[in-house]
Structure 1
Amino acid sequence: MFKDLAKQAIENRELLQDATNESKKRTAVAYINRELIESGQYSFDALPNEEIDQAIEEVLHGS
């Protein structure tokens, strides 16, 4: 689930060609957090930050 959201976020961000990986990561984190909170799956305090970060890294580095 997190990896799919990370892919969506990165693909959306890649439309901006000069984006750095760090800005892609920040954008992906914000996108995933919003999706998880709005869907009611997580509250802000319970977001699985480590899993989200790992999924984003995997998508950015093609794992």
Structure 2
Amino acid sequence: MPYLIYKSFDWKQDAWGIFEAIKDKQNVFFLDSSLRRPALGRYSFLGFDPFYIFKAK
């Protein structure tokens, strides 16, 4: 059964600052939450070097 591996960090930087630290890694992704509606835009997801890449047209 598939499972999710994640780690939470208590960063003092915003999401863009963290992205700047990892932007040169392989296959970086950044799913940024919208700040226009704080109730809906609470989380951003960043990562790199995934074990699988899904591509669609």
| TM norm structure 2 | 0.30
Structure with larger Rg: 2
Larger strand percent: 2
Of structures 1 and 2, the one with the larger relative CO (CA 8 A, separation 6+) is 1
Larger helix percent: 1
